[in-house]
Amino acid sequence: MDLSVLIGTLRLANPLIAASGCFGYGVEYANAVDLASLGGIAVKGLFLSEREGHPPPRIVETPSGMLNAIGLQGIGVHRFIAEKLPELRRQRAVVVVNICGTTIDEYVELARILSDAAGVAALELNISCPNIKEGGITFGCSLTGTHAVVSAVRKVTRLPVIPKLTPNVTDVASIARAAEDAGADAISLVNTFLAMAIDVETRRPRLSNIVGGLSGPAIRPIAVRMVYECRKAVKIPIVGMGGIACATDALEFMIAGATAVQVGTANFVDPFIWSSLVEGTRDYLRRHDIPRVAALTGTVDLTSREKQWISS
Ligand SMILES: Cc1cc2nc3c(=O)[nH]c(=O)nc-3n(C[C@H](O)[C@H](O)[C@H](O)COP(=O)(O)O)c2cc1C
């Protein structure tokens, strides 16, 4: 059974990656999970400098999901390289660094610094965080912004460049196309959906930031639809995510068009989820007599009438 997949030039042992912001910097889980057994780890989003993030409350549970407005709290790229990367290397983790900026120059600077750091496997460009005002999503919501960030980063690194798209747009496939045109090796989607919750007794917003990003099983069918739309629009690999909580959910994304998947919110429910994801995927391939997981990508079975209906 071959679980390996190819994301640009990067070969992953399996398609299951920990999603950014939901697995710390990876090292925090080293005593609970064999980090090398994951396809990869997308670490918490990094700016050039340290950030405090928003004040609490920053997380609210919602039906089948959660709402967060962490505000991209983080230790900054230099401390990450000095304090976290050596241990990730020792653990033989495949490290995808999620980078965030308020300007294109900041993304470029981060890409330069990380390209010189041993043990970084790929860069995921967070152009989609819905709960900070400056930068990020400002790029990810426009075709020209997406193109500009991706092509600027592309010029300064040989690492695989994976822009992470926001679902908070009307036509995600056109943003995917802009990323591909600018030289992205792959795209990842979705980041969280802009959302809000109010305590009716106090009439106060439940998050200090008023609005935040919705994740978890509640968003899964929308994310699957977006992966499907992007698969038809671009040739580069797609890393799909949004509410994956078991192997079946991961397989659904792959059949819709993802080459690999990320698992975020489910880590907060069950940090030991990883072995059941790998075993469940293996079991499915065995039952369906599919020797390579990569052969599943984009294999949703449509009749010619359904195809016509979808493209009309
Ligand atoms: C608490 C929290 C923090 C997150 N932080 C980041 C981040 O730093 N960078 C990023 O690109 N996405 C971040 N995300 C988004 C997730 O990586 C993922 O795209 C999203 O939650 C959907 O997947 P899920 O439903 O499996 O969680 C965060 C999500 C949560 C819940």
Alpha carbon of 210 to ligand 1 centroid (Å): 18
Residue nearest to atom 11 of ligand 1 (CA): 126
Q: What is the mean pLDDT of residues 187-204?
A: 97
Query: Does 101 have pLDDT greater than 80?
Result: yes
Evaluate: CB of 60 within 6 angstroms of ligand 1: no
pLDDT at 72: 85
pLDDT at 128: 81
Angle at 301 between CA 296 and CA 307, to 5 degrees: 130
pLDDT at 171: 96
Phi-psi bin for 179: left (phi > 0), alpha (psi -120 to 50), beta?
alpha
Return the closest-CA partner of residue 286 out of 261, 274, 278: 278
pLDDT at 310: 65
Query: Does 299 have pLDDT greater than 70?
Result: yes
Evaluate: CB of 74 within 6 angstroms of ligand 1: no
Percent of the chain with pLDDT over 90: 90
Distance CA 40, CA 17 (A): 5
Alpha carbon of 150 to ligand 1 centroid (Å): 20
Q: What is the mean pLDDT of residues 21-48?
A: 97
Please give the positions annotated as active site. 129
Q: What confidence tier does 5 reach under pLDDT thresholds 50, 70, 90?
A: very high
pLDDT at 133: 61
Q: What is the mean pLDDT of residues 92-110?
A: 96
Distance CA 108, CA 155 (A): 9
Long-range contacts of 137-143 (CB under 8 A, 24+ apart): 137/166, 137/168, 139/104, 140/164, 140/165, 140/166, 140/169, 140/175, 140/191, 141/166, 141/168, 141/169, 141/175, 143/174, 143/175, 143/178
Evaluate: CB of 239 within 6 angstroms of ligand 1: no
Evaluate: CB of 241 within 6 angstroms of ligand 1: yes
pLDDT at 312: 55
Alpha carbon of 91 to ligand 1 centroid (Å): 23
Query: Does 186 have pLDDT greater than 60?
Result: yes
pLDDT at 139: 85
Q: What confidence tier does 311 reach under pLDDT thresholds 50, 70, 90?
A: low
DSSP string for the chain:
-B--EEETTEEESSSEEEPTTSSTTSGGGTTTS-GGGSSEEEPPPB-SS-B--PPSP-EEEETTEEEE-----B-HHHHIIIIIHHHHHHTT--EEEEE--SSHHHHHHHHHHHHTSTTEEEEEEE---TT-SSSTHHHHTSHHHHHHHHHHHHHH--S-EEEEPPS-SS-HHHHHHHHHHTT-S-EEE--PEEEE-EETTTTEESSTTSEEEEESGGGHHHHHHHHHHHHHH-SS-EEE-SS--SHHHHHHHHHHT-SEEEE-THHHH-TTHHHHHHHHHHHHHHHTT-SBGGGGTT-----HHHHHHHH-
Query: Does 309 have pLDDT greater than 90?
Result: no
pLDDT at 107: 95
pLDDT at 28: 96
Both structure tokens of 121:
């496997």
Evaluate: CB of 146 within 6 angstroms of ligand 1: no
Alpha carbon of 155 to ligand 1 centroid (Å): 27
How high does pLDDT run on average in the chain? 95
Q: What confidence tier does 134 reach under pLDDT thresholds 50, 70, 90?
A: low
Distance in angstroms between the alpha carbons of the first and the last residue of the chain:
38
Residue nearest to atom 23 of ligand 1 (CA): 242
Evaluate: CB of 267 within 6 angstroms of ligand 1: no
Evaluate: CB of 263 within 6 angstroms of ligand 1: yes
pLDDT at 71: 87
Q: What confidence tier does 305 reach under pLDDT thresholds 50, 70, 90?
A: confident
Residue nearest to atom 4 of ligand 1 (CA): 21
pLDDT at 131: 62
Alpha carbon of 1 to ligand 1 centroid (Å): 30
CA 192 to ligand 1: nearest atom: 20
pLDDT at 137: 72
Q: What confidence tier does 303 reach under pLDDT thresholds 50, 70, 90?
A: confident
Return the closest-CA partner of residue 36 out of 66, 12, 67, 19: 12
Site to probe by mutation for ligand 1, drawn from 46, 207, 265, 274 as the one with most ligand atoms within 8 Å of Cβ, is 265
Q: What is the mean pLDDT of residues 56-85?
A: 96
Distance CA 208, CA 216 (A): 20
Q: What is the mean pLDDT of residues 3-19?
A: 97
Site to probe by mutation for ligand 1, drawn from 61, 191, 273 as the one with most ligand atoms within 8 Å of Cβ, is 191
